[in-house]
Amino acid sequence: MPANFKFVSLTFSLFFYASLVVAQTQVILDKRFVDDATKFTTVGSIGLTVSNYGTFGDGFAVQSPVDQPSCEYPRGSGIEHLFVGGLWVGGRRDNGTIFVTTGARDIPSLRDVAAGFEFTNSDDPGDVVRERSSILDNPFFDPEAVSHQDFIADFTDSNTVVPGTTILIPQHLPINLSVHLETYAWNFPFADAFVLFNYTIKNSGRERLNDVYISLWSDLVVRNTNITPPRVG
């Protein structure tokens, strides 16, 4: 990464892959207000939940009327591969202080707000995960769509309280990052086993950020929910 970090665009691929089987108890990503974790991929072979506050996967939360997948492959099989994951950004300030902002972390249970879940959206009711599609007869058709199913979200680590409330985000020291996320999924047989994550990350603060590292953290849980329900430890 360049020493003077102001702006970077990165694309990650989330493929189906084998992972360690980890026992886990329920995490409910029940952050209120305009937080949106209702979107999940419905094209291709992966059913993956994407949020507008820096996480992916749904932590095996209970949804109604549709109990959506966290990261299900093959889609519709009931076989899950992910509990929850999130974007991590770390580096050094000019004075040498190490910083990190995390979108998700290993935690057995979450109610509303928890340390390590540091990205938020705004309190604008329209600030939700947006969808578009390159398929002409799709209700979300948009000529600017990249894939058969695009999700678009914006979030930041600049807030120290949950927007629109007085609830403090625990153990959070903002870096002042602005993140624009677009995910892309296709139903072509040669491109249906992955979802692309395209992050555009901007330093919106006045301090220079040095030696910046960017990663995706995930709590990989492989489970056949037809045999073991997802919300059983």
Report in angstroms the alpha-carbon separations of 129 from 19, 24, 55: 28, 27, 12
Of all residues in the chain, what percent carry a pLDDT higher than 70?
82
Q: What are phi and psi of 227, to 5 degrees?
A: -105, -50
Indicate the number of domains in the chain: 1
Q: Are 69 and 185 in contact (CB under 8 A)?
A: no
Within a domain: 219 = yes
Q: Environment class of residue 17 by beta-carbon count within 10 Å: exposed (0-12), middle (13-18) or buried (19+)?
A: exposed
The pLDDT value recorded for residue 41 is 97
Within a domain: 46 = yes
| C-alpha to C-alpha distance for 73 and 189, rounded to whole angstroms | 14
The pLDDT value recorded for residue 212 is 96
List the structure tokens of 83. 């509990």
Is a pLDDT exceeding 90 seen at residue 45? Answer: yes
The pLDDT value recorded for residue 26 is 37
Give the pLDDT band of residue 74 (cuts 50, 70, 90): very high
Of all residues in the chain, what percent carry a pLDDT higher than 90?
64
Is a pLDDT exceeding 80 seen at residue 117? Answer: yes
Within a domain: 218 = yes
Mean pLDDT computed over 179-185:
97
Is a pLDDT exceeding 90 seen at residue 107? Answer: no
Is a pLDDT exceeding 60 seen at residue 217? Answer: yes
Within a domain: 233 = no
Within a domain: 64 = yes
The pLDDT value recorded for residue 30 is 41
Give the pLDDT band of residue 92 (cuts 50, 70, 90): very high
Within a domain: 68 = yes
List the structure tokens of 55. 């996480």
Geometric angle at alpha carbon 85, from 23 and 163, rounded to 5°:
125
Structural domain range at position 135: 7-224
Reduced to 3 states (helix: H, G, I; strand: E, B; else coil), residue 165 is coil
Is a pLDDT exceeding 70 seen at residue 97? Answer: yes
Q: Name which of 25-29, 72-76, 113-117 the model is least confident about.
A: 25-29
Within a domain: 16 = yes
Give the pLDDT band of residue 27 (cuts 50, 70, 90): very low
DSSP-assigned beta bridge partners for residue 88: 102, 215
Q: Environment class of residue 202 by beta-carbon count within 10 Å: exposed (0-12), middle (13-18) or buried (19+)?
A: middle
The DSSP 8-state label assigned to residue 114 in this structure reads -
The pLDDT value recorded for residue 168 is 94
Mean pLDDT computed over 134-153:
98
Within a domain: 213 = yes
Beta-carbon count within 10 A of 36 CB: 18
